[in-house]
Amino acid sequence: MDEFDIGRLAYLLILLVAVGGWVMVEYRGRIGFALRSAMAWGLIFLGVLAGYGLWSDISRTVMPMQQVRQDGSIEVPRGSDGHYHLTLTIDGTEIPFLVDTGATNVVLSQADARRLGIDPETLPYMGLAETANGTVRTAAVTLSDVALPPFHDPSLRAYVTDGQMDGSLLGMDYLGRFRIEIAGDRMILTR
C-alpha cells in the first residue's frame, strides 16, 4: 500500500465517521426509521443501476425499430426525435444509422468504424465533405456483407469522417437502392 492509497483510505474513514456521526445524532432514538430510510434509498439506487444495465434491451421497445412487412418491404417508424433510424448488419455487426435523404453518401462515425474493425487513425483522409458543422475530411472504405433483412448487398462504399459525429448517417448511396415512400410517421422501403 503506497502513500496515495493510505491517504485515500484515511479520507474515506473520515468521511464514514462524519456521515455516521451525523446519522447517529439526527436519528437518535429513531434507529428503526433510519434503517428503513437507508434500505429504501439502497433499493432506489439498485433500481437505477438495474435500469441503466437493461437500457439496451428496454430501448428497443421505447424506440421502435424497423420491421419486415408481409409484402417484403421494410417499415420504419419515425423516432421520438422526429427522424428515421435503421439498423444495418455489416459483416455480422449491427450498426445503427440515422436515415439522411439529404446526404449523398453513407458516413460512418469513428466509433462505428472501430466497431467494424476499421482503424480511423490509419485511414488516408483524401476527400472533403460539406456538413452542417462545416468542412470535414473523409476517407473512403468498402463495407462487406451489408444486410437490411430481407435485403443483402455484398458490398457498399462508405466514408469515415475525421469530424465528430454522434452516430453514422445512411445517405442516398444506399437509400437509392430502394423505392422510398413516407406515409404519416412511417417510411416504407421497397426493393
3 state SS of 13 = helix
Q: Assess whether 97 and 162 both reside in one domain.
A: yes
Q: Quick one: cell of 89?
A: 448488419
Q: Assess whether 35 and 75 both reside in one domain.
A: no
**Cβ–Cβ under 8 Å, residues 98 and 76:** no
Q: Assess whether 22 and 91 both reside in one domain.
A: no
Domain count within the chain: 2
Nearest CA to 137 out of 126, 145, 153 is that of: 126
- Please report which helix (H) or strand (E) contains residue 15, including its range: helix 3-26
Q: Assess whether 68 and 44 both reside in one domain.
A: no
Q: Assess whether 47 and 117 both reside in one domain.
A: no
Alpha carbon 20 to its chain's center: 40
**Cβ–Cβ under 8 Å, residues 149 and 92:** no
**Single residue among 39, 57, 75 that ends a domain in this structure:** 57
Q: Assess whether 79 and 149 both reside in one domain.
A: yes
Q: Assess whether 102 and 120 both reside in one domain.
A: yes
Q: Assess whether 24 and 103 both reside in one domain.
A: no
- Which domain does 45 fall in, by range? 3-57
87-128: per-residue pLDDT in tens?
999 999 999 999 998 889 999 999 999 999 999 999 999 998
36-52: per-residue pLDDT in tens?
888 888 899 888 888 77
Q: pTM of this prediction?
A: 0.66
Position with higher pLDDT, 70 vs 3: 70
